Amino acid sequence: MHPTLDIDFARSHFPAFAEPELANWVHLENAGGSFPAAQTIGALTGFYTKTKIQPYGQAGPTATAGKAMDSARNRWAKALNVDPDEVTFGPSTSQNTYVLAQAFGAMLEAGDEVIVTQQDHEANSGAWRRMAGERGFTLRDWQVDPVTGRLDPAGFDALLSGRTRLVCLPHCSNIAGEANPVAEITAKARSVGAASVVDGVSWAPHEIPDVTALGADIYMFSLYKVYGVHQGLMTVRRELLDRLPNQSHFFNAKYPSKKLAPAGPDHAQVAASSGTLDYIDALAEHHGIAANDPGERVRAVNALWRAQEIAVAAPLLDYLAAHPRARLLGPETCDDRRAPTIAFLPEKMSPQALEAALADRGFIVGASDFYAYRLIEAVGIDPETGVVRASMTHYTRGQDVSAFIEALDDLL
Ligand SMILES: Cc1ncc(COP(=O)(O)O)c(C=O)c1O
């Protein structure tokens, strides 16, 4: 087995890197959306070209379309270590959460408590906060450290009680970049009979999780950040799914994977979501990863991704942590719990001015609150201007990060 990721091989699977119009750009907004792998584009084009007919019929091409959708669902279920019935595809994570909140919220009443965090992207926060207003249950706000933006597990212990019905948390913040100890938190939630909703959008591009091992009753992420199609994928543990009120047409209530998908699925994108897994399989084969179990294979490839990302992110973290005119958010070192998602506040100019100056030099970064409005506010930053975020992934090259540091050195 190769000890390290063959990054040239990985990059050869992304048409964007061979695209002349993108040749002069360095993509450092991967937390906003990654480039899609060639396998994703191929699967999508293939579906649109050959099988764009109402699926699950008896005629050849419609049956093929249905099989491709089922295959994608089954493969993702294996990768995530859940049952295929536990997988729901929806237009986005925000929409999946919205529908989930309608369903779960209907089971809650006055006296019940839901823990939400200040660290979440609004997707896994606002929907629950709105439902509290409608249903009369009580919200418990798990607050972040006002300097680092981190969630202190002791803060969680103080909020958890026999009245807690649901715990909502991010696997990793899209600003502070640090993975939370999810398995510990979900176990504690379970010990008082509460369910857990984990937003994995910021973490899944770096490590596609074993959801069962994490103990998350509900786990959500967005495939368009995981080298794939623009869909949200949500897993809901079957025992909970069976109890949730149906949000789909009444006659679909008996199909677990349709209960939380009120709209018809995007057939092509569901089928083409397998492109991410095909890409991972290509990496596994190239690196001599022989695991037959799809979950094991995915996690072995993820280990290659992580080692590469950690090495590439380290110099930027070191640089920003030491810079007198930048306030770095989140941990200063990159280890296996930190995503290469690096947010900072420049002191001498607005985030937007720095974004524009970096764009002039060919770097794509973001400058925003990134919909983590409550977190930005809690760490004393104006959400209207937000922070600059440079986010990398396994295909980001060390030379691009060095050039980025040079540009920052001029501009900061
Ligand atoms: C951490 C996090 N959660 C949720 C979302 C929302 O995902 P979607 O765009 O699929 O609704 C995002 C989007 O950027 C995110 O970064």
Q: What is the 3-class SS of 319-356, one letter each residue?
A: HHHHCCCEEECCCCCCCCCECCEEEEEECCCCHHHHHH
Burial class (CB in 10 A: 0-12, 13-18, 19+), 180: buried
How far apart are alpha carbons 147 and 214 in whole angstroms?
Answer: 28
Q: What is the pLDDT of residues 125-157, one digit of tens each?
A: 999 999 998 899 999 999 999 999 999 999 999
* Interval between CA 201 and ligand 1 midpoint (Å): 6
Do the strands 218-222 and 232-236 form a parallel or antiparallel pair, or are they unpaired? antiparallel
Query: pLDDT band at residue 3, thresholds of 50, 70 and 90?
Result: confident
Q: 43-276 has which fold? A: Aspartate Aminotransferase; domain 2 (3.40.640)
What's the average model confidence in pLDDT over 90-119? Answer: 97
Confidence at residue 334, expressed as pLDDT on a 0 to 100 scale: 87
Ligand 1 close to Cβ of residue 174 (< 6 A):
yes
Taking each helix axis as running N to C, give the angle between helix 126-135 and helix 93-105, from 0 to 180 degrees, rounded to the nearest 10. Answer: 20
Q: Tell me, rounded to whole angstroms, the distance of Cα 401 from its chain centroid.
A: 22
**Boundaries of every domain in the chain:** 7-37+294-411, 43-276
Tokens standing for 342? 């690096």
Ligand 1 atom showing the smallest separation from residue 224 Cα: 10
Confidence at residue 263, expressed as pLDDT on a 0 to 100 scale: 84
- Checking if the pLDDT of 1 tops 80, the result is no
Ligand 1 atom showing the smallest separation from residue 31 Cα: 16
pTM for this one?
0.97
- Checking if the pLDDT of 314 tops 60, the result is yes
Q: Reply yes or no on domain 7-37+294-411 having CATH 1.10.1050.10.
A: no
DSSP labels for 246-273? P-S-GGGTT-GGGTT--SPP-HHHHHHT
Bigger pLDDT: 211 vs 334: 211
**Residue 140: beta bridge partners?**
115
Residues 6+ apart with CB under 8 A from 58: none
* Interval between CA 222 and ligand 1 midpoint (Å): 7
Q: What is the pLDDT of residues 368-410, one digit of tens each?
A: 999 999 999 999 999 999 999 999 999 999 999 999 999 999 9
Average pLDDT, the chain: 97
Q: What SS3 class is residue 85?
A: helix
Q: What is the pLDDT of residues 231-267, one digit of tens each?
A: 999 999 999 999 999 999 999 999 999 999 998 899 9
How far apart are alpha carbons 284 and 274 in whole angstroms?
Answer: 15
- If one residue of 98, 172, 222 were mutated to test the ligand 1 pocket, choosing by the most ligand atoms within 8 A of its CB, it would be 222
Q: What is the pLDDT of residues 60-102, one digit of tens each?
A: 999 999 999 999 999 999 999 999 999 999 999 999 999 999 9
Measured from the Cβ of residue 293, the count of other Cβ atoms closer than 10 Å reads 12
How far lies 215's CA from each of 168, 194, 238, in Å? Answer: 13, 12, 13
Tokens standing for 363? 């770097």
Pick the closest to residue 343 from 389, 386, 381 (CA basis).
Answer: 389
- Nearest residue by C-alpha to atom 14 in ligand 1: 32
Ligand 1 close to Cβ of residue 120 (< 6 A):
no
Ligand 1 close to Cβ of residue 201 (< 6 A):
yes
Ligand 1 close to Cβ of residue 222 (< 6 A):
yes
Q: What is the pLDDT of residues 286-299, one digit of tens each?
A: 999 999 999 999 99
- Checking if the pLDDT of 2 tops 60, the result is no
Calculate the dihedral angle through the C-alpha atoms of 36, 42, 47, 50, rounding to the nearest 10 degrees.
Answer: 160
Taking each helix axis as running N to C, give the angle between helix 351-360 and helix 398-411, from 0 to 180 degrees, rounded to the nearest 10. Answer: 120
* Interval between CA 3 and ligand 1 midpoint (Å): 32
Ligand 1 close to Cβ of residue 231 (< 6 A):
no
Q: What SS3 class is residue 34?
A: coil
Ligand 1 close to Cβ of residue 92 (< 6 A):
yes
| C-beta separation of 124 from 199 below 8 A | yes
What is the radius of gyration, based on Cα positions, of the chain? Answer: 21
* Interval between CA 1 and ligand 1 midpoint (Å): 34
